[in-house]
Every structure is written in C-alpha cells, then in structure tokens.
C-alpha cells in the first residue's frame, strides 16, 4: 500500500465556473477555471465548501469528471432532492460564479495509463463520473490497454455522458455495455434489468488476465457488483471501490 | 476568509445539537458506507482476534472466547471524513484497554489490521481510558458485513476511517506506522474537532 498521494497542505482555493452542461435531467457538469490547480489523477475528488451570508458553511465531496489532460477541471453533480449542497450546484450556480474547493483528494481509487492489464470499469448512476475521468485519460494516453465499461442506469435518458460514450465505442479497444433497469426502448439491444453475476461474467476478463477493476456507485450497487465479481473468481485485491449514498448531499 | 456563495442559504443545523457536530460535518440519519474494496465475509469459525507485534507474548481469541470477554454498551456520536455525522449510535463490544491488559508491552502505537487488507494506525493513548472498543453489535444486533461485521474497531473521537471494519487484530509497534488511508494523504491523527481530514490540516 505504498504511495503517498499528497504532500504538504491541501489549501482551499477559488475557482470560477466557466461553463455548465446539462448531462441529464438530474445531473449537471460544472467546468471550472482553477488558476492554482496542481493537477490530478483520474479517479480523484475534491471537497467543495459553500458559505452563506451569515458565515454558515457546508462541505461535500465530488468526483472529478475531467482527465488530467483536459483543459479546466470538470465536476458532475447529481441533484439529490432535498439535499443541501447538490441542488445549489445544479440549480443556482451559473457561469461567472465563484466556487471554493480543495483537492485533489484520494490516491487509491485512481487509474493511470501506465498501469498494465485490461481495465474493467463498472458504474451505477452517477458512479460513472470518476470512471469518465479514467476513460478520457485512457483516450488521451497511449498505447492503450483494452477497456470495458459496464454501466447501469434507470433509463437511456439517465445515462450521463451518453453521447460521449457512444463516440468512445469508435475505439476498437473499447467495449461498452449498458444495463437499463427501469425502462428501455423497444429495440434496445443492451442488458435489461440489474447488473447481475451472469452479466458481469460475460463482461469481465477471466481472473488470470488480472483485469484492474474499478466499481463506483450507490452502496447497494457496489455491494452487489463486487459480491458477484468475487463469487465468479475475481481476486478481491484487484477490485477498487468507491461507494456513495444519500448522505443529505 | 471564505467568499459568500451567491444564493446559498444552507439548511443550517436542523439535524441535531450543533455543539455535537464538528466543523464541516452535517448530521445524517442513514448509515452511509465507505470501503476501498469488496466486503469480506469471514465465517465465524474462522474468525479470531489477535494482539501481537511488540509484546512479550501474543494473545488470541476465537469468536466464542471473544464474546466471553467482559463487554460494554456504548452510545456515541460518529464522524466520517466524507462529512457525515451520526448521533447516538449504540454498540456493544470490548474496550481496547481490557484487551491490552492481557499483554505486556512498551510500545506506544498500534496498527489495526483487517480482513481485506485494510490497516489503520493509532497511538496507544487514543485507545485507552474508554476511548476505543472492538464492537460486535450495532443497534442491538450483529453488525452487518458492509458496516464492518462481524467485528469492527470503534474509536468515535477520531474520524471513522480509524474505526477499522472487519478488524482481526492489533499489532503493537514501537514507532507510528501510517496505515491505509494515512498513506493516501489522509491525516495521521484524524481529530474531527480540529478538522484533521488530510495531511497538513
């Protein structure tokens, strides 16, 4: 478990929102100009701090959606109904506004293009955000390992980065498998229903190929997916997870 | 000084007594899960708890033996570095001080190690005097595997990553050896009241 990812102090810094992108009905991306950004690795996150006019503050963590090679730092925020911070970020914040944050944070759930072995990315809902950073890092680097993305969403309209994912399929090394759990088009040729063991076994490389596996999503999704992977013989120490739940965010 | 976030009202501290919520935290009524890998499922017949390392003679308990050690009911507030705080959580377990009384040591630190490979480091002074337990019940029942069962460390005065899930032993060390998250840039001590989230905080 080597590798101190951070050194020195993580200071709060001010960024400016330069663009916002409606990804889905619930999810919005914020593109930030951060003059003091030290760079990041794919999979890391930031802490955001909001301050009300009476000094009250709230902090939350958000995954970074952009690759290290991209211009600007992009976050994608899933709006949680009744949440304190996410509805502010998706509904109130506009281009030109300032945003206070610090990062990058986390040195474990990261992928670097220099790592050998095929890359298996598995996400549920907005769990795709840090995996999108890995995919873009993968596309920007070379030579490229084989990569498969297994993504679960309620409906096709809930798939964050849908158009971008469709463009990625143009790479012959990319295999994209989308599972729709609630509703699907009549001609849908992807998986229908939840991501289960059979579906994961069809998507995963055999354990002896030592795939590097990253799983991100709501707790129940991550528990089910990692449980199925381990049962089908994948080695626990090849699986990295990031879980999130409705924490009031 | 932080600038004011235009249009941000905030929900204020609707979730409980503000004096019990450390800076940057908010109260949750759920019980979120944070783990770096798959949840291990160790069968109880294969479970043991060991104290070793810089001790005269290591000591180990099987599951039934561990349940026979004098236990305590604990009700505490817990604080996760991902910003949630949960008030009045109730646990049953054995105090770390009780366990440490079974060994002779001059070490001042320990590494808690776990199924799944997780580790975290603690100073001995942070685990004695009723500050730390090895808990095996939560809210009146067994601890669910995703929350660290069959047994987890409970060190509620520090951020919750110090309360190692699936704990299997304490290795006493003469020097302070950073554990898993401590090696990935998180604070070595992790006092939520001092907001010691990351290195340098």
Q: How confident is the model at residue A249 (pLDDT cuts 50, 70, 90)?
A: very low
Give residue B1's pLDDT.
Answer: 80
CA distances from A160 to A23, A125, A166 (A): 6, 8, 11
Give residue A142's pLDDT.
Answer: 76
Answer whether residue B187 is part of any domain.
Answer: yes
CA-derived radius of gyration, chain B: 17
Give residue B66's pLDDT.
Answer: 98
CATH number of residue B185's parent domain: 3.90.420.10
- Asked if A227's CB is within 8 angstroms of B180's CB, the reply is no
Give residue B85's pLDDT.
Answer: 94
Give residue B13's pLDDT.
Answer: 57
Answer whether residue B24 is part of any domain.
Answer: no
Give residue A3's pLDDT.
Answer: 38
Q: Is the pLDDT of residue A35 over 70?
A: yes
Give residue B34's pLDDT.
Answer: 83
Give residue B129's pLDDT.
Answer: 96
* Rama region for A57: left / alpha / beta (φ>0; ψ in -120 to 50; rest): beta
Q: Give me the domain span that covers residue B158.
A: 45-194
CA distances from B159 to A30, B61, B96, B164 (A): 29, 27, 17, 11
Answer whether residue B16 is part of any domain.
Answer: no
What is the spatial distance between Cα B133 and Cα B146, in angstroms, rounded to a whole number?
Answer: 18
| Global pTM value | 0.92
pLDDT digits (tens, 9 = 90+) for A178-229: 999 999 999 999 999 999 999 999 999 999 999 999 999 999 999 999 999 9
Q: Is the pLDDT of residue A1 over 70?
A: no
Q: How confident is the model at residue A7 (pLDDT cuts 50, 70, 90)?
A: low
- Asked if B2's CB is within 8 angstroms of A57's CB, the reply is yes
- Asked if A219's CB is within 8 angstroms of B32's CB, the reply is yes
Please tell me what DSSP assigns to residue A64: B
Give residue B14's pLDDT.
Answer: 56
Q: How confident is the model at residue A6 (pLDDT cuts 50, 70, 90)?
A: very low
Q: How confident is the model at residue A247 (pLDDT cuts 50, 70, 90)?
A: very low
- Out of A9, A107, A241, whose CB is closest to B184? A107
Residue B125: helix, strand or coil by DSSP?
helix
pLDDT digits (tens, 9 = 90+) for A93-104: 999 999 999 999
CATH class label, A13-105: mainly beta
The domain tally of chain B equals: 1
Q: How confident is the model at residue A245 (pLDDT cuts 50, 70, 90)?
A: low
> Any idea where the domains of chain A sit in the sequence?
13-105, 119-244
> What are the per-10-residue average pLDDT scores of chain B (201 residues)?
92 74 91 89 96 98 98 97 94 98 97 97 98 98 96 98 97 97 95 96 95
A9 close contact with B: CB closer than 8 A: yes
Give residue B15's pLDDT.
Answer: 59
- Out of A6, A236, A239, whose CB is closest to B185? A6
pLDDT digits (tens, 9 = 90+) for A77-98: 999 988 899 999 999 999 999 9
Indicate the Cα dihedral angle A220, A222, A225, A227, nearest 10°: -80
Answer whether residue B74 is part of any domain.
Answer: yes
Q: Which CATH number fits the domain A119-244, given the four candidates 1.10.260.40, 3.40.50.2000, 3.40.50.80, 3.40.50.720?
A: 3.40.50.80
- Asked if B5's CB is within 8 angstroms of A88's CB, the reply is yes
- Out of B5, B180, B198, whose CB is closest to A51? B5
Answer whether residue B66 is part of any domain.
Answer: yes
- Asked if B4's CB is within 8 angstroms of A105's CB, the reply is no
Answer whether residue B136 is part of any domain.
Answer: yes
Is-contact B127 B97, C-beta < 8 A? yes
Give residue A82's pLDDT.
Answer: 87
Is the Cα dihedral A129, A122, A149, A173 positive or negative? positive
- Model ipTM value: 0.89
């Amino acid at each position: 478990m080597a590798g101190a990812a951070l050194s020195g102090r993580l200071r709060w810094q001010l960024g400016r929102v330069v663009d916002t992108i409606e990804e889905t009905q619930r999810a919005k991306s914020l593109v930030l100009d951060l003059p003091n950004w030290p760079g990041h690795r794919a999979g890391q996150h930031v802490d955001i701090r909001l301050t009300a006019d009476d000094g009250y503050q709230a902090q939350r963590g958000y995954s970074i959606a952009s690759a290290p090679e991209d211009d600007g730092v992009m976050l994608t925020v899933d709006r949680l109904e009744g949440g304190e911070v996410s509805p502010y970020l998706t509904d109130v914040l506009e281009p030109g506004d300032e945003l206070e944050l610090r990062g990058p944070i986390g040195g474990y759930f990261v992928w670097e293009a220099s790592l050998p072995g095929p890359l298996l990315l598995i996400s549920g809902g907005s769990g795709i955000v840090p995996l999108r950073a890995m995919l873009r890092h993968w596309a920007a680097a070379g030579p490229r390992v084989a990569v498969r993305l297994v993504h679960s969403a309620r409906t096709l309209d809930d798939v964050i980065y849908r158009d971008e994912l469709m463009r990625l399929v143009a790479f012959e090394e990319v295999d994209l498998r989308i599972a729709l759990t609630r509703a699907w088009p009549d001609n849908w040729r992807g998986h229908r229903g939840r991501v289960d063991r059979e579906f994961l076994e069809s998507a995963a490389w055999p354990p002896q190929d030592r795939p590097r596996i990253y799983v991100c999503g709501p707790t129940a999704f991550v528990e089910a997916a990692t449980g199925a992977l381990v049962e089908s013989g994948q080695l626990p120490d090849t699986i990295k997870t990031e879980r999130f739940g409705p924490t009031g965010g | 000084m932080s600038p004011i976030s235009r249009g941000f009202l905030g929900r204020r501290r609707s979730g409980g007594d503000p004096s019990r919520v450390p800076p940057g935290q908010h109260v949750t009524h759920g019980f979120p899960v944070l783990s770096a890998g798959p949840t291990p499922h160790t069968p109880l017949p294969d479970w043991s708890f060991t104290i070793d390392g810089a001790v005269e003679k290591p000591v180990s308990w099987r599951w039934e033996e561990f349940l026979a050690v004098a236990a305590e009911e604990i009700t505490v507030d817990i604080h996760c570095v991902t910003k949630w705080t949960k008030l009045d959580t109730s646990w049953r377990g054995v105090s770390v001080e009780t366990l440490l009384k079974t060994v002779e040591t001059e070490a001042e630190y320990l590494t808690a190690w776990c199924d799944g490979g997780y580790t975290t480091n603690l100073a001995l002074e942070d685990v004695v005097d009723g500050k730390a337990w090895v808990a095996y019940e939560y809210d009146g029942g067994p601890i669910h595997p995703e929350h660290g069962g069959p047994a987890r460390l409970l060190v509620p005065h520090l951020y919750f990553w110090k309360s190692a899930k699936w704990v299997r032993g304490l290795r006493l060390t003469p020097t302070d050896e950073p554990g898993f998250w401590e090696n990935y840039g998180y604070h070595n001590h992790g006092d939520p009241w001092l907001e010691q989230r990351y290195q340098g905080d």
